[in-house]
Structure 1
Amino acid sequence: MNKYESLKNLLKKYGKLAIAYSGGVDSSFLLKAAIEALGKENVLAVTVKSQVIPEEEQKEAEELARQMKARHLVLKMDVLSLPEFKTNPKDRCYFCKKHIFKDIIKAASGRGFNTVADGTNSDDEGDYRPGMKALQELRVVSPLKQCGLTKAEIRELSKELGLSTYDKPSLACLASRVPYGEEITAEKLLMTGAAEKYLRSLGFNQLRVRCHGPVARIEVMPQDFDRFFRDDLNIKVYEHFKTLGFKYAALDLAGYRTGSLNEEVKIDG
């Protein structure tokens, strides 16, 4: 029995399931599998709309949910109203996840869905993720992780299922662009979100723009480095970033990697 069949068998045991749905690779795959296993009437996709999610991502999530004919609920939240979020401690994600998933659980349970799942996969255990503690405390289930599905396997299965997200870049909330200890503001979130949108418009795919005060630290795949120095693209990017509010722009020579702002946390233990 392959992992996809194992996943559907696990999902059937829940009877009814609400899914924290962002429109990313993992949650989209989980939503598709749940609808196949349980039927669309027994599945509720719940998307949180807040300052840390780019507007274009929100629209893509809504469109994909429509394509899958999923029941879809959008919850609006002001995460910047949370002091534990705004001050940006190293366990910021714990407080944020706890707040968000409490609201998801409440909304889901009010509609008859008493089990809530998220898209955590088996690869996610390798990074610093304090938010996972919050999920455990709230008894949120992680079927993809339970079935041992890796990101690569989820992408492969998503392609077989005809999901457009199979090759979508890995995403993370915009708060992850601000170093721990530096206050998270609406301005910083807007600046980094706009900077990343501009780079994507230039054809860069997997990327991050980290906000170090007035400096935008750009992470792209190493094979994309040379593009910055063709036709004065580096100057164009720098000039555009200045219009967004940055004073400086720097290319990270280590290239794109997930959780680069967690490297200091790992060293500190």
Structure 2
Amino acid sequence: MNSVEEKYQALQNILASYKAVAVAYSGGVDSSLLVYVAHEVLGEKALAVTAIAPMVPDQELDDARNFCKHYGIHQVFCKPEVMELEEVRHNAPDRCYVCKKGIFAELFSLARNHGINLIADGSNLDDLGDYRPGRKALKELGVKIPLQEAGFTKADIRTLSQQLGLPTWNKQSNACLATRFPYGTELTEEKLTLVDRAETILTNLGFSQLRVRVHGDVARIEVSTDQFNRVVQNSVREVIVKELKALGFVYVALDLAGYSSGSMNATIDTSQA
């Protein structure tokens, strides 16, 4: 098994072979490392392309802007109208595939307008073990996956990010806000904003690695089990209930199973992904 340093060198070599690349940059842990190393290797031939969409948390966009500004990385934006896509709007099981294909088509157009024909995504090896229908869209569009090619796991990415002094090394992993709703639930910009605000409340209270799943008028909170004691402390619990009810939720519940990435996938057959 290669060391993180060997994987870092492999990543640099892969990126250098591209000559020029646009990194699909979300502001998350993985794409932050990728865009940083791409800029390190290719300089002005590395471009950060960022999609502004209702299912992207506001804080992620702010983080992405600040990261690129801090490191002098050229960043451009597009605003794909993904909510006009029926499969996205109705949160179909193939929503991620349809949404990802629509977003990356826009990112390709944006990159080409800046003279770059290659786009790289920040997926890592751990993503191969989860239900990710968007992978099919990336493959069909010819998107490069250099972190996987270089052998990076999520743990490797955090380790190297820390070694490089990147502020994202211990950042919570975030996901598309549409994943907070059961499949078949109609999505609106208002609902997506609602869940973003609910999770911001918990984040501001000091909780990490969390999700607020929405079941009608019920907010189902997922946090790691080691944070349970703090959630139920009266002073904290009362604030959570008050603030989430102020957003419009009637019931506020804690999922005793704890935080689970992709927990909404339990209701569908993921074997064909």
Structure 1 distance, partners of 2:198, 2:115, is: 41
1:20 corresponds to:
24
Secondary structure in 2 aligned to 1:89? coil
SS of equivalent to 2:237? helix
Contact 2:210/2:223, CA 8 A, preserved across alignment: yes
Q: Report Cα offsets for 1:95-131 as digits up to 9, x if no partner.
A: 0000000000011012110000000101001111100
| Counterpart mapping for 1:164-179 below 5 A | 164-179=167-182
Q: Match of 2:260, as an amino acid?
A: R
Q: Distance in 2 between matches of 1:267 and 1:232?
A: 40
SS at 1:50 equivalent: coil
Uncovered stretches (5+) of structure 1, i.e. residues with no partner: none
| Structure 1 position 258 matched with structure 2 position 261 | yes
Q: 1:31 corresponds to which residue? A: 35
Is the CA contact (8 Å cut-off) linking 1:86 and 1:184 kept in structure 2? Answer: yes
- 1:228-247 to structure 2, matched below 5 A, reads 228-247=231-250
Q: Does the aligned pair in 2 maintain the 1:128–1:266 contact within 8 Å?
A: no
Alpha-carbon offset, residue 84 of structure 1: 1.6
One-letter amino acid of the structure 2 residue matched with residue 198 of structure 1: I
- Distance in 1 (CA, whole Å) between partners of 2:19 and 2:137 is 24
Aligned residues: 268
Quick one: which amino acid aligns to residue 178 of structure 1? F
Task: Please name the residue that 1:9 is paired with.
Answer: 13
Output the aligned Cα RMSD. Answer: 1.3
Q: SS of the residue aligned with 1:165? A: coil
> In structure 2, how many angstroms separate the alpha carbons of the residues matched to 1:77 and 1:99?
7
Answer with 236-245 or 100-109: which moved more: 236-245
Q: How does 1:1-269 map to 2 (within 5 A)?
A: 2-39=6-43, 41-266=44-269
Q: Is the 8 A contact 1:87 1:184 kept in 2?
A: yes
Unaligned runs of 5+ in 2: none
Instruction: Output the amino acid matched with 1:37.
Output: V
Query: C-alpha separation between the residues in 1 aligned to 2:228 and 2:45?
Result: 47
Q: Aligned-pair distance for 1:252?
A: 0.5
Q: Distance in 2 between matches of 1:268 and 1:109?
A: 35
TM-fit CA distance, 1:160: 0.5
Which amino acid in structure 2 is aligned with residue 88 of structure 1?
N
The answer to whether the 8 A contact 1:16-1:43 is kept is yes
Runs of 4+ more than 3 Å apart: 266-269
| C-alpha contact (below 8 Å) 1:178/1:212 kept by paired residues | yes
CA distance in 1, matches of 2:271, 2:183: 13
What do the CA deviations read for 1:167-212 (whole angstroms, capped 9, x no partner)?
Answer: 0000101111111111111221111111000001111011000111
Shift of 1:238: 1.4
Whole-angstrom CA distance in 2 between matches of 1:21 and 1:263: 29
> Residues 80 and 102 of structure 2 are in contact (CA less than 8 Å); yes or no, is this contact kept in structure 1?
no
In the alignment, the residues of structure 1 paired with residue 127 and residue 181 of structure 2 have an alpha-carbon distance, to the nearest angstrom, of 20
Q: Deviations over 1:118-164 (max 9, x none)?
A: 00101001111100000000000100011110000000000011100
TM-score by length of 1: 0.96
Once residues 221 and 171 of structure 2 are traced to their aligned partners in structure 1, the CA distance between those partners, rounded to angstroms, is 19
Q: Tell me if structure 2 keeps the 8 A contact 1:188–1:211.
A: no
**TM-score normalised by structure 2 residue count:** 0.95
Q: Distance in 2 between matches of 1:237 and 1:144?
A: 38
**Residue identity matched to 1:131:** G
Task: Give, in angstroms, the shift of residue 28 of structure 1.
Answer: 0.4
Deviation, 1:265, is: 2.5
Aligned residue identity for 1:212? H
The residue matched to 1:32 in structure 2 has which SS? helix
Distance 1:147 1:42 in 2: 20
